[in-house]
Amino acid sequence: MTILIPSTKDDADLQADVLAEIARDPRFRPAEIGVEVDNGVVTLTGTVSSYPKLVAAANIAVEIAGVKGVANELTLEIASTFFRNDTELVSAIREALRWDIEVPHEKIEIIVRNGRVTLKGTVDYWYERVAAVKAVERLSGIVAVSDQIAVKPQLVGDADVAAEIGDAIARRTSGANRISIDVKAGAVTLRGRALTPHDRFQAEKAAWTTKGVRTVTNQIEVTW
């Protein structure tokens, strides 16, 4: 059986795709999220019960092919049983960061005001920044998270960073010669083809565990 996938989508197609992907996610109740699309820009409306759900809905929408942008207008309504005051949130965040082995918790500053969290500080690795934000986003009672964590500037040239990433990819995957690595001031872009999803993930992991990398864009295609 052959299934043809449309090469272009109009706003109605995009709306249907976003709604279908949200409906597939067990975290959301039926009709919990409203979706409007105008010239490829998606607007999400409705009320959700946690910050992770608010973030997840936007992530689902932005991953749909053809979507040009996402306006997240979801409202967060936290049930009283999950409410925490700012002092309690600071304590919970500190514990979450302390127990996450990927986070240098002593380097992270925490500011909380009315449930809105700001994370500051400077870390050595890009993945440490990502891990800190994810650890906080999972906590109940959070209204919003502002990531102001900086990654320490690299002390080596882009060519050396690319070479280190290339060596790590060669150790982790079976098709390193099919992957190209572009580094500009610590911003890494991976391109090419991977034999399996595992190889694609390992290539990205090799990049974001390299010191001095600020961001990673993974454009590797899987050819399995």
Q: DSSP letter string over 23-84?
A: HH-TTS-TT-EEEEEETTEEEEEEEESSHHHHHHHHHHHHTSTT--EEEE-PEE---GGG--
pLDDT at residue 50 in the model: 84
Tokens of 14: 């995009």
- Domain match, 94 and 114 both: yes
Give the chain's radius of gyration (CA, Å).
20
pLDDT tens, position by position, 109-120: 999 998 899 999
- Asked whether the whole model's pTM tops 0.85, one would answer no
What is the number of domains present in the chain? 3
Q: Among 151, 167, 190, where does a domain finish?
A: 151
**Which carries the bigger pLDDT value, residue 78 or residue 61?**
61
Residues 100-110 have a mean pLDDT of 94
- Mean pLDDT of the residues in the chain: 88
Neighbour count for residue 171 (Cβ, 10 Å): 10
Give residues with Cβ within 8 angstroms of 25, minimum separation 6: 56, 60
pLDDT tens, position by position, 13-32: 999 999 999 999 988 988 88
- What residues make up the domain containing 17? 11-76
pLDDT at residue 214 in the model: 82
Q: Are the beta carbons of 51 and 27 closer than 8 angstroms?
A: no
CATH number at residue 176: 3.30.1340
For a pLDDT cut of 90, what percent of the chain falls above it?
A: 51
